[in-house]
Structure 1
Amino acid sequence: MLFTERLLADPPHIRAWLRQFLQDCDEAFFAETWSRLRDRLTADTRLKTDLLRRKGLAGALAAVSPSVTLDEATARISVDKLGEGRTATGDGGLLLTPTSLGWPHLMVLHRYGWQPVLHYPVGSSEPAAPPTVEQLALRMTALSHPVRMRMCRNLARSAYTTSELAQAHGMTAPEISRHLGVLKRAGLITTRRRGRYVLHQLDVTVVARLGSDFLEGILR
């Protein structure tokens, strides 16, 4: 009540005080954490935006969590963690918010008629150990080759098999495999098996951190 009375009595002064208070809190409590997580979250946001543009909402939601599905026929999004209740987006759409601090929990914030928010985890909450100078050199060398740079444009957007990359770049499968081996040894790509196929994808979090990792490495 006292704060409200002061705000009504002298709005400019209280607004200035509150703004300064929040800036001080940012510097004291959040700035270091944000500098550590910013690249990871920015990379994920760009990836989801690209998926939304190329594969539509279903593709973007599938990358958020296997718990989230889209029924395109009814334009209904389902989240299997919700025991009951439903909401409508109205004209506001759906807001996707990545977080590294809420891992591994998927949160759905909604109220009927309001814009729903899907708060989804990105990676682990534990910060990765900073790479050594040797690891940084290996990663930069791996990315310096023009063929591997072109491959990374594909691998940043989706997962590819070796044969799919060979067809896309007009090269043989053994040639592509050698380049993939260089990227994998540098820790720049991840692989997973789908049936009898092995899919490769760029680890956008690692690549996004290269600049800050380099600076941190040379200043250590």
Structure 2
Amino acid sequence: MSVCIDITGLPHERITFGPSPLAELGAALHALSEPAHHARLHGWITTTNAGLKPELADRLTEADFLWRSTRSDILLPARPRATLTEELDDLDRMEDEKFVGAALEISCASLYSEGAPSPLVDARMRERALDLAAARGPRQAAFVRRMLADPPAVRAWIRRLLEDCEDAFFADTWARVRVQLAADARHKTELLRRKGLAEAVAAASPALTLEEDEKGVRVVVDKLTHGRTTAAGSGLTFLPTAFGWPHLFALHAPGWQPVVQYPVHTPDLGAGAAPVEMVKLRLEALAHPMRMRICRSLARGSYTTSELADAYGITAPEVSRHLAVMKKAGLLTTQRRGRYVLHQLDAAVVARLGSDFLEGVLR
């Protein structure tokens, strides 16, 4: 499976490598909310979380569906700017329907590639968004209700939140990483100019390849998901990130310019010991194709059985059987929230099995 970005006929001048403060802030916020995904950032995560004022930490928890289990497309700008303020200004110019539809990517995104209508204008999508938010707890359900009722007010609230993050910790962080990211982007741009796009994308990530045949030319992103989009008429943007590993994001929603966010570092995951029989049980549990696909969602966040069934087009009992196998192997954590039971992959356990698999499901 993969995400294919058709670039047939796209001139190289419309393929951009560049750092984005908004995208990097989104990656940093994800790392703060999911530290198990980012073992090598342990020191930064611990220090930053400890330094957050309670009021800001509370607001971040309220809005974390924007970056926790998936990265909202509003956090991946197609036109990277020099400052966060400029990128937030660009975001302010986006129509409410598009902004809200992208902001509420809080499910397994089963409708992402189909270009589902915005919940602001479609009653079915509105009910779906509210139902999925309810599984995340009463605070997020209330937040989504407010967003649907008064988008301008909530959009202003989100902007203030991101600006407060810049004041609290991100300005210093961005000052440390932006030089490195700019240098990486310049290097990829020079590769594109001198050696061609195939060399540039391969240098960005081994999970990126350029394919060309009688059907056209496309950038292929190796991920445990399927999607297709075109860069014709818009362009293609690559955003380097110092906080992103092991994730490799590919914005491929219909009507959006494609964006790929790629990590510039390789981690050093520690090793652990487990009984051989348990390792065998875990490898057998992960070998099933459907369970591998389910892992892609559970590695990013907590999901209910019904959400997974909806995302992968199978019945809830089938999902339950797969989850039971994975739970027996010690691969899952579960928590009850009201009438919902949420399941999540234990990233630390999977990391000990193999960093290649963990990187694959977290791309």
Q: TM-score, normalised by structure 2?
A: 0.29
Larger Rg: 1
Tell me which of the two structures has the higher relative contact order, counting C-alpha pairs closer than 8 angstroms and 6 or more residues apart: 2
Give TM-score scaled by structure 1 length: 0.46
